[in-house]
């Protein structure tokens, strides 16, 4: 069965069809959740919550976008809820104050973004971003979501989404390049 | 415009967003800002590459997720069933309560009558 057939069957209440959709999208959804939350523990909660919401809402899925795109939006929304919950229950700071923790990342992009090491480092730099900046840059620059979709799922304005994106990019740039690297980077 | 003013606009310019004629003209003629813009472009290319770099899900998480959906589906079905039959249940319980009450009242009345006739 292709994805459209599985979605059609799942919309009619076919659990096996929905389970197959879960299996096919699971790694992708987990990866997104992991990138949005910055840690595995929260990613597990977000993945489960996202699929539960998807199961409950599959009847309303009109199919005018790919199932995976619909699921990304649900996952982004579940991650935003998770972050809000964490903010209420933890003293952990989600503010924008940010200290780069890996000063050795200076050669990252300049020495070839294609290397696995470079991708690991940029992944680490994303994890170190404040949650609300990380969410926007992951959804826009990694997953290619529109500003409008991001704003809707995170419950913020389009302007706020853009401001956060630009701040996130500046912070990543600051971590990934330093003065020494700048000379060699271009 | 000065380089530090333009630099603040580069995270938007890298998407092709309009940042104003003055800033765009500055970048066209400033090697330093062009180099900085190139860094942002490279940053975006690298971030896009993360799209196909997958994280390994926690062992057992898929099974746990499917089980959670099963629980939710069963709970949902139970709720639907209950709400559909709620009126019938309430009616049946109510009817039974009335029947029990009526029978009890009849028995009490009959026993009082018998007691009165024995006393008389």
Closest CA to A70 of A81, A58, A79: A58
* Length reported for chain B: 120
Of residues B47, B69, B72, nearest to A122 (C-beta): B47
- Which 15-74 residues of chain A touch chain B by CB within 8 A? 15, 18-19, 22-23, 26-28, 30-31, 34-35, 40, 43-44, 47-48, 51-52, 55-56
Distance from C-alpha of B63 to C-alpha of B59, rounded to nearest angstrom: 9
pLDDT: is A159 or A119 the higher one? A159
Q: How far is CA A102 from CA A84, A98, A122, B48, in A?
A: 27, 12, 11, 21
From first CA to last CA, the distance across chain A in angstroms is 49
How does pLDDT run across A28-79, given as a tens digit for each residue? 999 999 999 999 999 999 999 999 999 999 988 887 788 999 999 999 999 9
Would you call B67 an interface residue with chain A, using a CB distance cutoff of 8 Å?
A: no
Nearest by Cα to A3 from A24, A32, A29, A27: A24
Residues of B in contact with A186 (CB under 8 A): 35, 38-39
Is A108 a residue whose pLDDT tops 70? no
Three-state secondary structure string covering A19-83: HHHHHHHHHHHHHHHHHHHCCHHHHHHHHHHHHHHHHHHHHHCCCCCCHHHHHHHHHHHHHHHHH
**Given a cut of 70, is residue A94 above it in pLDDT?**
no
Best interface-test mutation with A: which of B11, B60, B72 has the largest number of A CBs within 10 A?
B11
Q: What are the boundaries of each domain within chain A?
A: 1-92, 96-186
Residues B10-27: tens digit of each pLDDT: 999 999 999 999 999 999
Mean pLDDT is lowest, of A154-163, A167-176, A177-186, B29-38, for A177-186
What number is the ipTM of this complex? 0.78
Q: What is the pLDDT, as a whole number, of residue B82?
A: 60
Which of B47, B61, B62, B70 is the best residue to mutate to test the A interface, defined by the most A CB atoms within 10 Å of its own CB?
B47
| Contact flag B38-A176 (C-beta cutoff 8 Å) | no
State whether B14 and A169 contact (CB < 8 Å). Answer: yes
Residue contact B61–A30, C-beta within 8 A: yes
| Structure confidence at residue A19 (pLDDT) | 96
| CATH number of the domain located at residue range(s) A96-186 in this protein | 1.10.10.10
Please report the pLDDT score of residue A99 as a whole number.
40
Q: Over 90: is that where the pLDDT of A151 sits? A: yes
Class of domain A1-92: mainly alpha
CA–CA dist B46, A120 (Å, integer): 11
- Whether B46 and chain A come into contact, CB under 8 Å, resolves to yes
CA distances from A106 to A124, A137, A164, B34 (A): 13, 20, 23, 19
Secondary structure letter of residue A139 according to DSSP = I
- For the residues of B60-87, what is the DSSP string, one character each? THHHHHHHHHHHHHHHHHHHHHHHHHHH
Per residue in A164-175, pLDDT tens?
999 999 999 999
% of chain A exceeding 90 in pLDDT: 65
Please name which of B34, B106, B65 lies closest in space to residue A29, comparing C-alpha atoms: B65
């Amino acid at each position: 069965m292709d994805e459209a057939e599985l979605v059609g069957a799942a919309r009619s209440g076919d659990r096996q069809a929905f389970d197959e959709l879960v299996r096919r999208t699971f790694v992708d959804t987990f990866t997104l959740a992991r990138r949005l939350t910055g840690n595995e523990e929260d990613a597990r909660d977000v993945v489960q919550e996202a699929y539960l919401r998807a199961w409950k809402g599959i009847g309303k899925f009109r199919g005018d976008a790919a199932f995976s795109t619909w699921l990304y939006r649900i996952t982004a929304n579940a991650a935003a809820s998770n972050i809000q919950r964490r903010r209420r229950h933890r003293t952990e700071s989600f503010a924008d104050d940010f200290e780069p923790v890996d000063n050795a990342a200076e050669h990252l992009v300049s020495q070839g973004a294609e290397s696995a090491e470079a991708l690991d480092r940029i992944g680490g730099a994303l994890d170190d971003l404040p949650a609300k900046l990380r969410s926007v840059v992951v959804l826009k620059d990694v997953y290619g979501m529109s500003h409008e979709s991001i704003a809707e799922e995170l419950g913020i304005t389009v302007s706020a989404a853009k401001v956060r994106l630009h701040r996130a990019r500046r912070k990543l740039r600051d971590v990934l390049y330093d003065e020494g690297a700048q000379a060699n980077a271009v | 415009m000065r380089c530090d003013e333009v630099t603040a606009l580069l995270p938007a310019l890298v998407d092709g967003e309009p940042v104003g004629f003055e800033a765009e003209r500055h970048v066209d003629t400033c090697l330093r800002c062009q180099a900085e813009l190139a860094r942002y472009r490279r940053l975006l290319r690298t971030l896009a590459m993360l799209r196909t770099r997958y994280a390994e899900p926690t062992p057992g998480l898929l099974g746990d997720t499917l089980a959670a959906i099963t629980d939710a589906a069963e709970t949902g079905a139970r709720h639907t069933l209950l709400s559909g039959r709620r009126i019938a249940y309430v009616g049946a319980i109510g009817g039974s309560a009335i029947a029990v009450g009526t029978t009890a009242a009849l028995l009490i009345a009959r026993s009082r009558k018998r007691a009165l006739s024995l006393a008389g």
